[in-house]
């Protein structure tokens, strides 16, 4: 993808102030505002509507197989739920109430100018609006404001990754879902960017600091969990020890331990982690018994 020319350091410093709504020191300024508004907006619309077994580190490898099996139930094609789809909205397509709320939330101005978009960097945050498409029996549409993280800035579009948490991806009741889920890549045309923000100051750390977990995954020798980079997941630990260490079968797969809460170990694979299959193990370096397997998880990291 062809990239626009990066401005010089001095030009960037002069333009940086134009980036709208710098995120608060906790890193949750944009999220908190959007989450608060979205709950209020949805409430109004709805009111108007109707352990794996312990073993040594050198355990024999078992060929991983999908954990879930397809349903055998036959469903009529005319009433079966079809995949949820949605489309991004530009400023002129937003309803007046939503525009007014964005004016209130971001009084310094939105959407960002071309100069601001040119100066976006990886990890910067954008806000976009996605509207679900009518889908079979799900005739009613809904709009969700989503945050996405910048990956790469192009001539006409910006490559991004959707941040947790996404509320309206799935069909619900008579409302259609939009199908966009946390952790997935999303190509955003420049004219669909509503807000641009840059995280500043000290970022929050610990369990939950990267958003709501997209799944709680049990240790399993054969199950394969499909996961996305930069997306938190909770691993359910059988137990913990003071000598516990984590290992992977591939050195180029980078991940971070976000934090722990009880027996939930929250992890996140990094954007620059190698894609594909990886096995993660929690090992107890017992001083008397040697290395004892606490749990093992098999992942397939998507693009």
> DSSP per residue over 139-162, as a string?
-B--EEEEEEEEEEE-SSEEEEEE
Residue 208 region by backbone torsions, left for phi larger than 0, else alpha for psi between -120 and 50, else beta = left
**Residue 14 has what pLDDT?**
33
Return the closest-CA partner of residue 238 out of 292, 287, 301. Answer: 292
- Note whether 226 and 302 are within 8 A (CB): yes
Q: Which residues of the chain are under the pLDDT cut of 70? A: 1-81, 201
**Residue 17 has what pLDDT?**
33
DSSP-based three-state secondary structure for 39 = helix
- Note whether 112 and 188 are within 8 A (CB): no
Give the predicted TM-score (pTM) of the model: 0.72
**Residue 80 has what pLDDT?**
57
Residue 17 half-sphere exposure toward CB, CA atoms < 13 A: 4
Longest dimension (CA), the chain: 68
**Residue 81 has what pLDDT?**
61
CA distance 188 to 124: 14
**Residue 43 has what pLDDT?**
46
**Residue 50 has what pLDDT?**
44
């Amino acid at each position: 993808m062809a990239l626009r020319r990066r401005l010089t350091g001095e030009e960037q410093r002069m333009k940086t102030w134009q980036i709208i709504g710098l995120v608060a020191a906790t890193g949750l300024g944009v999220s908190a505002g959007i989450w608060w508004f979205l709950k209020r907006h949805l409430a109004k619309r709805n009111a108007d509507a109707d352990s794996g077994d312990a073993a040594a580190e050198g355990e024999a490898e078992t060929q991983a197989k999908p954990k879930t099996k397809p349903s055998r139930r036959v469903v009529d094609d005319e009433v079966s739920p079809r995949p949820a789809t949605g489309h991004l909205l530009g400023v002129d397509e937003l309803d007046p109430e939503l525009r007014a709320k964005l004016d209130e939330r971001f009084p310094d101005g939105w959407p960002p100018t071309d100069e601001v978009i040119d100066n976006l960097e990886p990890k910067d945050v954008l806000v976009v609006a996605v509207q679900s498409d009518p889908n079979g029996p799900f005739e009613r549409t809904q709009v969700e404001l989503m945050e996405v993280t910048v990956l790469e800035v192009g001539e006409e579009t910006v490559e991004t990754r959707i941040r947790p948490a996404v509320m309206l991806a799935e069909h619900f009741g008579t409302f259609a879902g939009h199908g966009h889920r946390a952790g997935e890549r999303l190509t955003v045309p420049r004219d669909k960017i509503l807000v641009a923000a840059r995280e500043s100051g000290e970022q929050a750390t610990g369990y939950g600091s990267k958003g709501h977990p997209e799944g709680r995954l049990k240790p399993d020798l054969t199950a394969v969990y499909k996961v996305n980079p930069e997306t938190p997941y909770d691993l359910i630990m059988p137990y913990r020890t003071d000598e516990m260490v984590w290992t992977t079968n591939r050195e180029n797969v980078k991940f971070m331990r976000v934090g722990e809460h009880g027996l939930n170990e929250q992890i996140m694979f990094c954007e620059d982690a190698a894609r594909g299959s990886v096995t993660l193990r929690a090992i107890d370096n017992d001083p008397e018994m040697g290395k004892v397997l606490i749990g093992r998880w098999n992942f397939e990291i998507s693009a």
